[in-house]
Amino acid sequence: MIDYKMGFDPRRFANNPLEEKFANKWEKINNNGDLLQCLLKNRVMTNDDIKTAGTIIQWLGSHIGQCFLRDVLDIKFIKN
């Protein structure tokens, strides 16, 4: 069975729960590779494609990934 949520470094989940949350959501919406297959325009999907997609999605939950999303979406940090 292929794990469609696992990127190249799933051990980061223990210290970065938001990365795991992103990975879990990807696994759910990817529907056993259907979404990734569609994004790849129906070319043959490799294990590297699966791992790379999972890694990028996981990265979005990291601190740097969150900064990237805030910048792209023009979201300002909320100061307490």
Mean pLDDT, the chain, whole residue set:
84
pLDDT at position 75, please? Answer: 78
Residue 30: burial class (beta carbons within 10 Å; 0-12, 13-18, 19+): buried
DSSP code at position 76? P
SS3 50: helix
Contact between 58 and 12 (Cβ < 8 Å): yes
pLDDT at position 80, please? Answer: 45
pTM of the model: 0.78
pLDDT at position 12, please? Answer: 80
pLDDT exceeds cutoff 90 at 56: yes
Q: Residue 5 is encoded by which pair of tokens? A: 């949520």
Q: Residue 78 is encoded by which pair of tokens? A: 């909320």
**pLDDT tens track for 11-33:** 787 888 999 899 889 989 988 88
